[in-house]
Amino acid sequence: MVQIISIANQKGGVGKTTTAVNLSASLAKLGKRVLLVDCDSQANATTGLGIEKPDLELSLYQGMIGEADARDIILSTMLPKLKLIPSNVDLIGFEIEMVSDPRREAKLKQFLVPVQEEFDFIIIDCPPALSLLTLNAFTASHSVLIPLQSEFFALEGLGQLLDTVKRVKSSFNPGLKIKGILLTMFDRRTNLAQNVMEDARQYFKDLVFKTKIPRNVKLGEAPSYGLPALLYDKASQGSKGYMAFARELLRKS
Ligand SMILES: Nc1ncnc2c1ncn2[C@@H]1O[C@H](COP(=O)(O)OP(=O)(O)O)[C@@H](O)[C@H]1O
Ligand SMILES: [Mg+2]
């Protein structure tokens, strides 16, 4: 059965897209059939996989408003088992156009149903806001994975995120779970990173993944070549970190 996971944190720059792209690529490398859904109008996951946004005739937007089928939007990537639903700026229009639609939170879920059983994992890269797009992602998902940047104020705002999860659980998706907390840009030499880890463990207990993603320049460089880290520099600590994380996730699933 497919597992649908939203990668979410309303803060920008915490490693959501890096995690969505590299977790998806790592799971695909481990033989899983993966669909990455770019649910952010900034479309960094799309560019990060080497797709030129302006050239796109069909993207997630057309799918979510019911103008195109998922099958016609899905793109192949350099990894045979990894497929992509790309995004672009069109997605900005979604929030406004859906205001008066009574089923506006369930558009992504409806859109994915016809193709979801062709995959082992569907990974949704969420925008940096608790917006209608994020509500759609949570409504469509089995669980939410939260990247935490190992920085000051890492846990700030998490209350709002957890409240949103609760709200979606009670209104639209009773089975929704927190998959876990992933520490990103982790520098084990600093006290700060250790403090963030301890705070996260105190609050979230076993929900904090053992694997921590190190701060690694290759993870920052890879998207500009349109490649996941494991194709850009397989031996880098960043690539290894996400492979280890994918294995941990598979053990837990
Ligand atoms: N582990 C890491 N090491 C180094 N740079 C990283 C790491 N994770 C993310 N980055 C960089 O930090 C920036 C923000 O990451 P991104 O994944 O785009 O965050 P978000 O999607 O939450 O806004 C990007 O430039 C990205 O390349
Ligand atoms: Mg992002």
Where residue 10 sits, what CATH number does that domain have? 3.40.50.300
According to the model, what pLDDT value does residue 54 have? 73
Reported residue count of the chain is 253
Report residues whose beta carbon is within 6 angstroms of any ligand 1 atom. Answer: 12-18, 44, 128, 184-185, 213, 215-216, 219-220, 223, 238
Q: Find residue 4's DSSP bridge partners.
A: 122
67-89 pLDDT per residue, tens: 999 999 999 999 999 999 999 99
**Residue 175 CA, ligand 2 centroid: distance in Å:** 25
Integer angstrom CA distances of residue 232 from 127, 171, 223: 25, 42, 9
According to the model, what pLDDT value does residue 163 have? 97
* Nearest-CA residue for atom 24 of ligand 1: 220
According to the model, what pLDDT value does residue 253 have? 84
With a threshold of 0.95, does the pTM exceed it? yes
**Residue 75 CA, ligand 2 centroid: distance in Å:** 19
* Nearest-CA residue for atom 14 of ligand 1: 13
Structural domain boundaries, residue 37: 3-252
The total domain count for the chain is 1
